């Protein structure tokens, strides 16, 4: 009764029978992946918006006037570094080392916070110079796109701190590992979006 | 007919406890080596576009634009493979299918919007910037 019965007409068990644990985690990771795909559609629409409006300066300042690429380079390195430190946290998690996992998570959070601080400094600087979101279609779409990414990073840090408290209180139990793996996807996904931002918005914006 | 479903269910009852262990083994799916490979590739793929633009290496901005867009695309693939552990096998291929579907939608959204709006722009009456400023 419990032996493998191939479906009618099949000579060998098909993939969904061999992978009995396809949803061993209850499908959470796959579900979260679907959420990320939806999130990337949000960013696709914002990128499209910027692509259409990004050159409409309304006689105001352009990207070449406003962007400081050195700041963007620092920001990019911070986010890239935070990606690899989160990776190290995941490796420590695999080895069941609670304190080292927490340390790497803290480093990741600090790098994320530094990224946010520089981004907020940049925004404040732009607004002080009169380059507010209301100034032109270019600036509206710029602030919406980069701001949405920054908001994602903010919530990522909130989530990260929450999970650090959880891991400290309850240790690396199955549920916490699952949550950390979801946040891992979220964090790396934000870095992927940032690749689009620094290329399409900052580097392309400065060139013309 | 119920026999066909049997093998799937058969693995579940005692498989549940094992599924945790199984997932432990999988863990984050990454190794130190794979993370470092991804990181070094990303650093190179980030440094080149910044160097091209900040150093004004190429005279032609169009060529520079195409190169940095291509490098960004490569870097996104690198991140997908080494950091997000994307492959065609996980979850029976469904994650990859979802990614492909999303990619198609993203391409339609981006290319479609920019293409349509560019042509709309071309066919609109020209408005000098100083007039545009006075519009609401």
Considering only alpha carbons, which residue of chain A is nearest residue B54? A69
- Tokens matching residue A149: 């990414």
**Are residues B26 and B45 located together in one domain of the fold?**
yes
Answer yes or no: is B14 within a domain: no
Same domain, B100 and B114: yes
Q: Are residues B117 and B132 in the same domain?
A: yes
- Determine, yes or no, domain membership for B101: yes
Let me know the angle formed at the C-alpha of A189 by A162 and B101, rounded to the nearest 5 degrees.
130
Place of tokens 């999303």: B102
Distance CA B3, CA A1 (A): 8
Task: Look at chain B and report how many structural domains it folds into.
Answer: 2
pLDDT, average across residues A180-200:
95
Residue B80 and residue B34 share a domain: yes
Task: Indicate yes or no: CB of A16 within 8 angstroms of CB of B32.
Answer: no
Residues B54 and B95 in one domain: no
Question: What's the pLDDT score for residue B20?
Answer: 39
Is B15 a member of any domain? no
Token match 């633009």: residue?
A: B53
CATH number of A153's domain: 1.20.120.80
What dihedral do alpha carbons B110, B115, B120, B123 form, nearest 10°?
160
* The two three-digit tokens of residue B74, written as one number: 């490569």
Q: Which of B9, B35, B77, B90 to mutate to test the interface with A (most CBs of A within 10 A)?
A: B35
- Domain presence at residue B77: yes
Range of the domain at A167: 60-207
Confidence of residue A2 (pLDDT cuts 50, 70, 90): low
Measure CA A114 to chain center: 15
Whether A23 has its CB under 8 Å from any CB of chain B: the answer is: yes
In this structure, the answer to whether residues B82 and B32 fall within a common structural domain is yes
The DSSP-derived string for B25-49 is HHTTS--HHHHHHHHHHHHHHHHHH
- Cβ of A8 and B4 within 8 Å? yes
Q: Which residue has the higher pLDDT, A38 or B24?
A: A38
Check whether residue B130 and residue B79 sit in a common domain: no
Contact A16, B78 (CB under 8 A): no
- Pick the closest to residue A143 from A207, A53, A10 (CA basis): A53
Looking at residue B92, the DSSP 8-state letter turns out to be G
Within-domain flag for B134: yes
Least confident among A110-119, A185-194, B21-30: B21-30
* Residue B37 touches chain A, beta carbons under 8 Å: no
- Joined together, the tokens standing for residue B33 give 């080596």
Assigned domain for A5 exists:
no
Q: Check residue A186 and give its pLDDT.
A: 96
Q: Does some domain include residue A127?
A: yes
Interface of A with B in 54-113 (CB under 8 A): 57-59, 69-70, 73, 76-77, 80, 83-84, 87-88, 90-91, 93-94
Instruction: Give domain status of residue A44, yes or no.
Output: no
Residues B98 and B61 in one domain: no
Q: Based on the domain organization, do B61 and B25 belong to the same domain?
A: yes
With respect to residue B4, please indicate whether it lies within any of the assigned structural domains: no
What's A17's DSSP letter? H
Q: Residue A117: what pLDDT? A: 97
Domain count along chain A: 1
Tell whether B34 and B55 lie within a shared domain. yes
pLDDT of residue B28: 59
Residue A144 lies in a domain: yes
Residue A142 lies in a domain: yes
Residue A17 lies in a domain: no
Residue A95, CA atoms < 13 Å, CB-side half-sphere? 13
How many CB atoms sit inside 10 A of residue A143's CB? 19
Mutation target vs A (from B50, B76, B128; most A CBs, 10 A cutoff): B50
Residue A40 lies in a domain: no
What's the distance, Cα to Cα, between the start and end of chain B in Å? Answer: 68
**Both B98 and B127 in a single domain?**
yes
**How far from each other are the two terminal CA atoms of chain A, in whole angstroms?**
71
Interface test with A, best of B28, B39, B131 (most A CBs within 10 A): B28
Q: At what angle do helices B94-123 and A28-53 cross, to 10 degrees?
A: 10
Instruction: Give a yes or no: residue B82 inside a domain.
Output: yes
Residue A144 CB: number of other CB atoms within 10 A?
A: 15
Residue A200 inside a domain? The answer is yes
Is there a single domain that holds both residue B81 and residue B26? yes
**A39-80 pLDDT tens trace:** 999 999 999 999 999 888 988 899 889 999 999 999 999 999
Whether the complex's predicted ipTM is more than 0.95 is answered with no
Q: B109 with A45: CB under 8 angstroms?
A: yes
> Which residue from B15, B18, B53 is facing A203, i.e. has the nearest CB?
B53
Domain that holds residue B118: 91-136
Say if B6 falls within a structural domain. Answer: no
């Amino acid at each position: 009764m419990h032996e493998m019965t191939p479906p009618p007409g099949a000579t060998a068990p098909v993939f969904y029978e061999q992978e009995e644990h396809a949803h061993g985690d209850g499908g959470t990771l796959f579900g979260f992946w679907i959420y990320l795909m939806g999130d990337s559609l949000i960013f696709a629409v914002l990128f499209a918006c910027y692509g259409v409006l990004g050159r409409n300066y309304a006689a105001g300042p352009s990207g070449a006037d406003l962007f400081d690429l050195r700041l963007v380079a620092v920001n990019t390195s911070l986010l890239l570094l935070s990606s690899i430190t989160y990776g190290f946290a995941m490796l420590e998690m695999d080895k069941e080392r609670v304190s080292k996992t927490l340390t790497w998570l803290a480093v990741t959070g600090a790098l994320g916070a530094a990224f946010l601080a520089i981004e907020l400094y940049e925004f404040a600087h732009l607004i002080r110079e009169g380059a507010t979101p209301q100034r032109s279609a270019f600036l509206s779409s710029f602030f919406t796109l980069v701001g949405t990414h920054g908001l994602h990073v903010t919530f990522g840090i909130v989530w990260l701190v929450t999970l650090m408290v959880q891991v400290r209180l309850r240790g690396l139990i199955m549920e916490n590992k699952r949550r950390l793996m979801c946040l891992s996807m979220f964090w790396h996904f934000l870095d992927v979006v940032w690749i689009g931002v620094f290329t399409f918005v900052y580097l392309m914006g400065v060139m013309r | 007919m119920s026999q066909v479903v049997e093998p799937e269910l058969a693995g579940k009852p005692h498989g549940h406890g094992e599924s945790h262990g199984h997932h432990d083994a999988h863990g984050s799916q990454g190794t130190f080596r794979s993370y470092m490979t991804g990181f070094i590739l990303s650093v190179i793929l980030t440094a080149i576009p910044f160097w091209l633009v900040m150093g004004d290496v190429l005279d032609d901005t169009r060529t520079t634009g195409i190169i940095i867009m291509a490098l960004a695309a490569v870097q996104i693939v690198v991140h997908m493979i080494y950091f997000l552990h994307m492959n065609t096998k996980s979850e029976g291929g469904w994650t990859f299918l979802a990614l492909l579907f999303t990619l198609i939608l993203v391409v339609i959204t981006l290319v479609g919007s920019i293409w349509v709006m560019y042509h709309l722009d071309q066919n609109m009456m020209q408005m000098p910037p100083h007039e545009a400023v006075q519009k609401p």
